[in-house]
Structure 1
Amino acid sequence: MARSSQPSRGATIVDVAARAGVSSMTVSRVINGRTGVSAQTRMAVEEAISDLAYTPNYAARSLVTSKELRIGIVYSNASAAFMSEFLTGVFEEASARGVRLTLLKGEGGHPPTTAALEEMAASGVSGVLLAPPLGEAPEVLRVFRAARCIQAAVGAYIAADTICVRIDDRTAAYQMTRRLLDLGHRRLGFILGNPDQTASAERMAGFYAAIRETGNVDVQVAQGDFTYMSGLAAAEQLLSASHRPTAIFASNDDMAAAVVSVAHRRHLDVPGELTVAGFDDTTAAITLWPPLTTVRQPVRALAAEALGLLLAEIAMQGGKSRVPRERILEFTLVERQSTAPACSSPS
C-alpha cells in the first residue's frame, strides 16, 4: 500500500469520528451538548477532539445567533457513488456546525441553469460549495462571483476567488500506473475522464509519466466521461483491439466497473486474463466481483474540509482572509482482487 506525502490539514469531524470509533452524528451530539450519548462514548469523543486539536468553527457559528447561516450546495456529478460520499461528508460537517444547507442539482450531468444559479445567489446564502465538475464550470463561477458569493470547490484546481480542496491526481495516477508496470504489464489501456475537468488531464499526465519511465509499453487510450455508460463503450473499444491490453486503468471506479462487466461478458477472467484498476474508492469499487484495486481519495473528508474552509472564510469577512486557497489531502492505493501479474502468454 502506497501513500502520498501531502501537507497536513486541520482535523474535521470525520477525523474525530474515526479516531473515537463512532459516527459523525455522535460527535455532533457531544460537541453540541446533546443527550443520548453514554459517558464512555462522550469521553472517547472528547479525547479524540483533544488528540486531533479539532476546533469547531465557533466564529462561523456565532453568525447563526444573529442570522441563520445557509450554505448552497451545487452539484451535477454523474457518479451516484461519488455523490453519496460527497453529500455524506457535507451533511455530517454541517450538522456539527449548525449550518443549514440548500441544494441545487443540475440535470443530465450539466450545470444548473443560469436562472437557477442566480436565484440561489440571490436567496441569501452566505456561501456556496461546488461538487466536481462544477468548481471549474465558467458559467457557475461567473454567477457567484458577480453576486460576491464566497465559493469553495472539491476536486477543482486553482481558480480565482475559489477555495479548492483536492488530492494530487497526477501523483496518484502515476503511482497506480507504476504498480501495474511493476506487475509486469506492458500492454496498458487507459480510460480518460471528463475532458472538461483538470483532474482528468492530471490523471492522464500521471499515467504517461510512469509510461515514459519504463519504455517499450504498448498504450491504448479510450475517451470516457466518468459515467458507467462511457466506460462500457471505452471497454468495448479497448478489448476489441487485435492486441488487447493486459491491464486497463480507468479514471474512476464507475468506468472501471464497466470494464469488469464487459470483460465478464467476453468470458475474460479478471484478473487472470485482464487486470483492472479504478480511481476514487467509492462503493462502486466493492459492490462487484472481483472488488477493484483503486486509488482512494477521501471524498467525505474532502467535502468536510471544503465546507470548513468556506465557513472560516465567511467568518473572516470584513478582515484580511488567512484561509488557504488550496488544500491537498492524502490519497492511498488500495489493492484488491482485480489486479494480478501479467499473464505470460496473453491472447
Structure 2
Amino acid sequence: MDSDANIPGSAKPTINDIARLSGVSKKTVSRVINRSPLLNEETRKRVDDIIRETGYVPNPQARALALRRNFLIGLVHDNPNAQMVLGMQQGILSVLKGTEYELIVRPVDRGSTTLVADVRSFLERQRLHGVVLLPPISEDDGLARLCDELGCRYVRMGSAELDDAAHMVASNDQDVVHEAVSYLIGVGHRRIGIITGPTGFRSAWERRQGFERALADAGIAVDPALVVEGSYRFESGLGAASKLLDCSPRPTAIFASNDEMASGALHAARRLGLDVPADLSIIGFDDTAIAAHIWPPLTTVRWPIVEMGKAAARKLLAGTIDAQPEVPGEALFLSQLIHRASVAPPK
C-alpha cells in the first residue's frame, strides 16, 4: 500500500489526508490508486474526485511495493535497424509522457543460448509493468510464454500477426511490398533485383514473399542471381547492390528491404556512373529521414512505426490510472507506398 506520511510544515496532501476527506480508510484509497476491482463505482469516484481536487500525487516507490511492480516499460530488441528502434522508442515515450512510467531499453543477442534466461533475469530484476518485444525476438513464442509465467504484460511487434490483438502490433509488409514491386513492373521494369533482409527475420521473409508474388502475378520468373541478402545496414546494401549491378544484363530496378540498404544501393550505382532513376530505379522500405534527404529523394514504403509504438504502449497501460480503461483493439497497421524521384521507366 501507499505509505505517505504527514510532514510538518508541508502543504502537500498525503494519503492520510485523502482518506480523511473521502471518509474512507487509507487502504481503500490505496485500492483506488492501484485500480483494484474490489471497489464500488461510487467510492472510486469520490476518492478520485478528492485526489484530483487536492492535487495529491501518489508515492511511486510505495505504489511499486504494493503492486510488486515498478513503473517501468521495457523495450527488448536485437535489431540492426537503428531507425526502427528509435521510431518505436519515440512512439512509446509519447504515450508515457505525463505518466509515472519510464522506458528502459535492453538490447539482447538473439543468437545466444541463454537468451530466454537473460530476458527472464531482466524482467525479474527490473519488475517491469510491461514489455515491448521487437522482431526478430518477438517471433519467439517462448518469450511470450515467459512473460505470461512472470505476470508481465507484453506486446509483440511483427511484420505479420503473431498473437491476439491485446499482445500484438503488426504491419502488412508482404502486401505493401507486392504493391511497390507491382508499381515498378507497371512503369515497365521486368528485370528487378531485391536486397533482402537477414535470414531469421520474419520481416525479411514477408518482404521477399511480396516481391516474389508481384513477379509471379506479372508472369516474371524469379532470377536467383537477382536475389542478394543484406543485413539491414548501409554497408550491406552497398555490397549487395554492387553484386546485382555486376550481373549481365544488370537489373533496371532494385527493391531494397529497408532505406539504409536502399541508400547503399544508390551509392553503388553512383560509383558505376549510373544515374538514378534514368539508369536504375530504387525503392526502399521504412520512410526514415534518410529517404527524403538523399538525392534523388527515395521512393519508399512508409512504415507506421511511431504509431505502432504508441499502440503498444497504450496496450500495456490499458486499465491503469494513466490510460484508457479498455484494451485497444488495433493490431494491424497499414504501410503506404510513398512516391518520390528514384523511380522512372527503364531506358
The answer, yes or no, to whether TM exceeds 0.5 is yes
Residue 224 (structure 1) aligned to one of 230, 233, 258: 230
- Note the C-alpha offset of 1:222: 0.9
Counterpart CA distance in 1 for 2:279 and 2:288 is: 24
Cα separation, partners in 2 of 1:132 and 1:112, compared to 1, 3 Å? farther
Moved more, 125-134 or 62-71: 62-71
Kept after mapping to 2: 8 A contact 1:189/1:249: yes
Mapping of residues 105-124 of structure 1, within 5 Å: 105-106=107-108, 113-114=115-116, 116-122=118-124, 123-124=126-127
* Residue in structure 2 matched with residue 181 of structure 1 by the alignment: 185
Determine the structure 1 residue equivalent to 2:5: none
In the alignment, the residues of structure 2 paired with residue 138 and residue 86 of structure 1 have an alpha-carbon distance, to the nearest angstrom, of 21
Matched, 1:210 2:211: no
Counterpart pick for 1:297 among 291, 299, 303: 303
Does the 8 Å CA contact 1:126/1:314 hold for their aligned counterparts?
no
* CA apart distance, 1:98: 3.7
Counterpart for residue 91 of structure 1: 93
2:185 paired with 1:194 = no
Give the secondary-structure state (helix, strand or coil) at the position aligned to 1:286.
helix
The corresponding residue for 1:7 is none
Contact 1:187–1:217 (8 Å) recurs in 2: no
Select the residue among 68, 72, 75 that pairs with 1:73. 75
After superposition, the C-alpha distances for 1:122-153 in whole angstroms (9 at most, x for unaligned) are 12111101223221246644543442322112
Which structure ranks higher in relative contact order (CA pairs < 8 Å, sequence separation ≥ 6)? 1
Deviation by residue 1:129-180 (Cα, 9 ceiling, x = unmatched): 1223221246644543442322112225444577121221111001001100
Q: Structure 1 residue 79: deviation in Å?
A: 1.9
Choose from 162, 167, 180 the match for 1:163. Answer: 167
- Name the residue aligned to 2:12: none
- Secondary structure, in 3 states, of the residue corresponding to 2:337? strand
1:1-347 counterparts in 2 under 5 A? 65=58, 66-67=63-64, 69-106=71-108, 113-114=115-116, 116-122=118-124, 123-137=126-140, 140-141=143-144, 143-159=146-162, 163-216=167-220, 219=223, 220-312=226-318, 324=329, 327-343=331-347
Given that 1:191 and 1:251 are in contact with CA atoms closer than 8 Å, whether structure 2 keeps it comes out as yes
Distance 1:221 1:336, change over 3 A: same
Cα–Cα, structure 1 residues 216 and 108, in superposed 2: closer, same or farther, change >3 Å?
closer
1: CA distance between counterparts of 2:150 and 2:271?
A: 51
Give unmatched runs, 5+ long, in structure 2: 1-31, 37-56, 65-69
The answer to whether the 8 A contact 2:159-2:203 is kept is: yes
Task: Look up the SS of the partner of 1:71 in the other structure.
Answer: strand
What's the CA shift for 1:282? 0.8
Q: Which runs of 4+ in 1 moved over 6 A?
A: 107-112
The size of the alignment, in residue pairs, is 280
Q: Report the counterpart of residue 49 of structure 2 in structure 1.
A: none
Q: Percent identity?
A: 32
Could you tell me how far apart the structure 1 residues matched to 2:205 and 2:187 are?
25
Question: In structure 1, the residue corresponding to 2:254 is in which secondary structure?
Answer: strand
Q: CA offset at residue 322 of structure 1?
A: 5.8
Structure with greater Cα Rg? 2
Describe the SS at the equivalent of 1:152. Answer: strand
Query: Structure 1's 286 and 265: CA in aligned 2 closer, same or farther, altered over 3 A?
Result: same
Q: Distance in 2 between matches of 1:292 and 1:110?
A: 36
**Which moved further from structure 2: 304-313 or 332-341?**
304-313
Q: TM-score, normalised by structure 2?
A: 0.72
Preserved contact between residue 76 and residue 109 of structure 1 (Cα < 8 Å): no
Contact 1:157–1:164 (CA under 8 A) maintained in structure 2: no
8 A Cα contact 1:187 1:218, kept in partner: no
Question: Do the aligned residues in 2 keep the contact of 1:186 with 1:218 (CA within 8 Å)?
Answer: no
* Distance in 2 between residues matched to 1:283 and 1:74, nearest whole Å: 23
